Amino acid sequence: MLVFANNEKSQAVVLADRIQETLATEGVRVSRAAVGQSASDIESLQTVDIVVSLGGDGTVLSCARLLAGHDAPILAVNLGQFGFITEVRQDEWYDTFDAYRQRRVGLSRRLMLEARLLRDNECLATCIGLNEVVVAATGISKIVNLTASTSRGTLGSYRADGLIVATPTGSTAYSAAAGGPILHPDLDAMILNPVCPFTLSNRTLVMPGHEVVRILVDHTQRTDVVMTVDGQEVYALEADDVIEVRRSNHQATIIESDRRSFYEVLRSKLHWSGGR
């Protein structure tokens, strides 16, 4: 087991200690890593068979990118304020772990995105994200000019604060705040969502997961533009740059809670009202 903790949260360090002590009595080998470490810094990553993420949804996003290419499932324990991915509370970690090893809970396999930054037909960067890829201006209230297309043709030109390409997992994050639809996280789909488009007819589009989205930064663009991945990795863009976003060959595997479903989390987090 690998415990992947956000060490900026004091309760994450305390809980990591408790997990290590508890499982040591059962003969489970536990290693530890922290947010900010790279895959090359973690010697046990190649052999780990389960990862416990301690933090909020942001910690899970970092963990998922770190594990890309590995099959280890993530037990996401919520220590944050608002978690859609982290369904397991900190006092439930052992029960969920025990239910997983006894095969009494399922696994949710989540689509991840691969983004490639192309400049003059050369790939400058390739990155993977679980939530979304965003192309936007660096400042507030600055419109960017972007053209989006797929393998089937051009979707259109956008004058907007930016464009979001989101996964079903990311549909409850920035895309939802920008008015996008909420998708079940197990769906094989992508969302293209303009942020505050200047033209009101520009609408959110849900596409099958096999599509490839190309976003071109207009050659007249003067405002500084960046690409962000999961809100955690940032790349500066230039006019005529192209960002290709496609379904990654890697998935994030999340251990499901046996206490609550995705719909129950939605109802609780979004304060939906209704009957008893």
Give the Cβ contact number of residue 188 at 10 Å. Answer: 13
How many domains are there within the chain? Answer: 2
Assess if residue 96 is contained within a domain: yes
The tens digit of pLDDT for each residue in 147-179 reads 999 988 999 999 999 999 999 999 999 999 999
Q: What pLDDT is attached to residue 120?
A: 95
Angle, helices 10-24 vs 93-101, to 10°: value is 40
Contacts of 43-50 with C-beta under 8 Å, sequence gap 24+, read 44/2, 45/2, 45/70, 46/70, 48/1, 48/2, 48/72, 49/1, 50/1, 50/2, 50/75, 50/97, 50/100, 50/255
Spell out, as residue ranges, where the chain has pLDDT lower than 50.
none
For 73, the domain range is 2-106+256-269
Specify if 276 maps to a domain: no
pLDDT digits (tens, 9 = 90+) for 62-94: 999 999 988 899 999 999 776 788 889 999 999
> Catalytic residue positions?
57
Whichever domain contains 78, its CATH number is: 3.40.50.10330
Distance CA 32, CA 237 (A): 35
For residue 219, what are its two tokens? Answer: 């050659």
CA 127 to the chain's CA centroid: 12
First to last CA, the chain: 40
Hey, is 251 helix, strand or coil? strand
In a domain, 274, yes or no: no
